[in-house]
Structure 1
Amino acid sequence: MPCTSELSRSQEYLSFRSSVPLRKIVVDADGTKGWKVYDSSPKTVKCPLVCLPPVSGTADIYFRQILGLAAKGYRVISAEPPVYWNVKEWCDGFRKLLDYMELDKVHIFGASLGGFLAQKFAESNSHCPRVVSLILCNTFTDTSVFSYNESATVFWILPSLILKRMLMGNFSSDKVDGEIIDAIDFMVERLESLTQPELASRLTMNCVNCYVEPQKICHLPVTIMDVFDEYALSNGVREEMYKCYPNAKLAHLKSGGNFPYLSRSAEVNLHLQIHLRQFEGTEYAASEKIKI
């Protein structure tokens, strides 16, 4: 597929692709489920920041976090899952990925579906914690907020075109600036690259009835990051997030649309550093001090 978006052609993105290799890590016994992973240095950091994409995202959507934070000594991993049809399967797969990468503990930055799955993973491992902290961006705690609950069980047979159309409705916006338009173009390109099973499985997890039990994880350090311009979720969903995590730190961005990690990467990266700063000097530090 030819890359037509501004961001795909940018020097910054091309430099990312040439300097950070894409790995495919197969974690299941029958050898079919391969995670796509970008892993920045330094590998000596044993409690990195792992970024999880939304439904329409691929692992490279966090290239500005990987480049920006790696330059400051942080180890950032972006992990894109293979096809999983339910949350339990996904959590098992993610745990195997962490085992394979020899990561006992991680910080997770998740956007939209990625944020929901980050919470579910922390919850499913609460008896033997693997997640040190969470940064949750434009995300939710309960899938019943989506209007496709009833039809989610048939996503697996719907053609790609219909699935893509369902998502495209959330992308468009009138009152946006050039950076948000560039971010949307880049994400549309990523969406176009996904196969029918990839898209159907992610939408199924996004929409089949499921909710987070925050009482199991609300003791974790949490930062809730959200934007105050137009994005796909309602204010009610945002308020519910605040209620579930009353002690969370709030990182508000005045604007940024659905994909602020692309459109407002400097602000997002600053908030990520502020969140991770509390772990500096401990065994859960996500960075090594850069020697000057």
Structure 2
Amino acid sequence: MSNRLAASVEYQSFRNAVPLKRIVVDGDDSKVWSLYDAGPRSIKCPIICLPPAAGKADVFFKQVLGLSGMGCRVIALDYPVYWTIEEFCSGLRKVIDHLRLDQVHIFGCSLGGYLALKFAERVRSTSMVASLIVCNGFTDTTVFKYTRAATAFWIIPAFILKRLVMGSLTSGITDTLQSDATDFVVDCLENLSQQEISSRLLLHCNGDYLRFPHALQHIPVTILDVFDDSALSPNVKEDMYKCFPNSKRAHLKSGGNFPYLSRSAEVNLHLRIHLKQFDGTDQSACKEFSKGSEQSQSYQDQSLVSVDLDSSDEIAEDQDIIPKTLLQLSKKGGVVGASVIEKDDSDPDDFPI
């Protein structure tokens, strides 16, 4: 990786501190799951992060560092080649069983958000999914381009497939943090094999949709969206809201396609607020602090702090420190003026990468 995020002290510290683990849960030894697992192992209901089509588990390094520093257990997953939703859901369930987890909170982004919803739908008769946080997600794959040609992805060369995905990137990005986030994800995309990228694009364009949203209404859901330009049209976002009318909505003024990288402070803040409703229960993803302690009071105060974020901060080697508290995370974020992007909704969407 040759970009500023990958070369930052924060990312290098993450790679040195959190080991990358690989596990095989299927009969096929070629299907290897990769994961970063940080935080107290005593927690049996962690938050699991599922990456977008172009990303790997590394794209969540800011969430792994930030939330684990607050006592939460965070698992960033990178899934192997699966050609159907059923195969993916079966594999993810085996991973959860392998890690001996009771329940999970799932934070899914773009394709990862759709897969999180389909997994929750698949295991709806159980209590395996404690809650969902969906970032730039969707519920229907028929809105994307190349749906009819999806079955031919497996024979298309990797460089053409990557070019299709790259077409979803917003051109003319002027925000430094969004540009760095895009460069980071592009490097992840370059490291994906032809089978990895073709299988993920097939999941994007398989013509399927969330069939039983009514069966998921009992699950706490937070929908995280950005107001600036992204690969999703307003109609796709509205469909998500209609499927989950009782969900909590977390809106970011800016962030682009990868707000968990470009606006990590705000995303981590929303994640912690979402998880706070489970504190003190068996579904808590964070280690409990003793009641009445000074540390507990400080933690509670910081988790509810509202701060004005400075969008002028840029990544520099002398500024890259591993955030220890939510307040420090918030001070490292950035917000610019909101702008609503209008798009012709009669056209199919590109891939939200």
TM-score grouping bracket, smaller chain normalisation: over 0.9
Q: Distance in 1 between matches of 2:78 and 2:111?
A: 12
Query: 2:188: which partner in 1?
Result: 190
> How far did 1:173 drift?
2.6
Across the two proteins, how many residue pairs are aligned to each other? 290
Q: Distance in 1 between matches of 2:125 and 2:246?
A: 21
> How far did 1:45 drift?
0.7
Q: Distance in 2 between matches of 1:88 and 1:160?
A: 24
Deviations 1:104-135, CA, capped at 9 Å, x for gaps: 21000000000000000000001123100000
> Is the contact between residue 173 and residue 179 of structure 2 (CA under 8 Å) also seen in structure 1?
no
Q: Secondary structure of 1:31's partner? A: coil
Deviations 1:145-189, CA, capped at 9 Å, x for gaps: 101110000000000011000010111332431000000000000
Where in structure 2 are the equivalents of 1:100-115 lying within 5 Å? Answer: 100-115=98-113
Decide which structure has the larger Cα Rg and report it.
2
> Is the contact between residue 110 and residue 137 of structure 1 (CA under 8 Å) also seen in structure 2?
yes
Q: Distance in 2 between matches of 1:124 and 1:263?
A: 32
Where in structure 2 are the equivalents of 1:233-248 lying within 5 Å? Answer: 233-248=232-247
* Structure 2 segments unaligned to the other structure (5+ residues): 296-353
* Structure 1 segments unaligned to the other structure (5+ residues): none
> How far did 1:290 drift?
5.5
RMSD: 1.0
Deviations 1:48-88, CA, capped at 9 Å, x for gaps: 00000010010110000000001100000001100000100
| Alignment counterpart, residue 7 of structure 2, candidates 6, 9, 21 | 9
Q: Secondary structure of 1:205's partner? A: helix
Q: Distance in 1 between matches of 2:74 and 2:29?
A: 26
Where in structure 2 are the equivalents of 1:17-36 lying within 5 Å? Answer: 17-36=15-34
Q: Distance in 2 between matches of 1:290 and 1:207?
A: 45
Question: What is the letter of the counterpart of residue 18 of structure 1?
Answer: N
| Alignment counterpart, residue 79 of structure 1, candidates 74, 77, 80 | 77
Q: Distance in 2 between matches of 1:69 and 1:96?
A: 25
Query: 1:88: which partner in 2?
Result: 86
Q: Does 1:44 align with 2:42?
A: yes
Q: Does 1:152 align with 2:123?
A: no
Q: Distance in 2 between matches of 1:261 and 1:147?
A: 25
Where in structure 2 are the equivalents of 1:209-228 lying within 5 Å? Answer: 209-212=207-210, 213-228=212-227
| Alignment counterpart, residue 165 of structure 2, candidates 167, 172, 179 | 167
Q: Distance in 2 between matches of 1:39 and 1:214?
A: 30
> Is the contact between residue 49 and residue 77 of structure 2 (CA under 8 Å) also seen in structure 1?
yes
TM superposition score normalised by structure 1: 0.98
Q: Distance in 1 between matches of 2:249 and 2:238?
A: 12
Q: Secondary structure of 2:287's partner? A: coil
Question: What is the letter of the counterpart of residue 166 of structure 1?
Answer: L
Q: Provide closer, same or farther for how the CA distance between residues 139 and 219 of structure 1 changes in structure 2, counting only shifts above 3 A.
A: same
Query: 2:283: which partner in 1?
Result: 284
> Is the contact between residue 228 and residue 252 of structure 1 (CA under 8 Å) also seen in structure 2?
yes
| Alignment counterpart, residue 132 of structure 1, candidates 130, 133, 142 | 130
> Is the contact between residue 72 and residue 290 of structure 1 (CA under 8 Å) also seen in structure 2?
no
Question: What is the letter of the counterpart of residue 233 of structure 1?
Answer: L
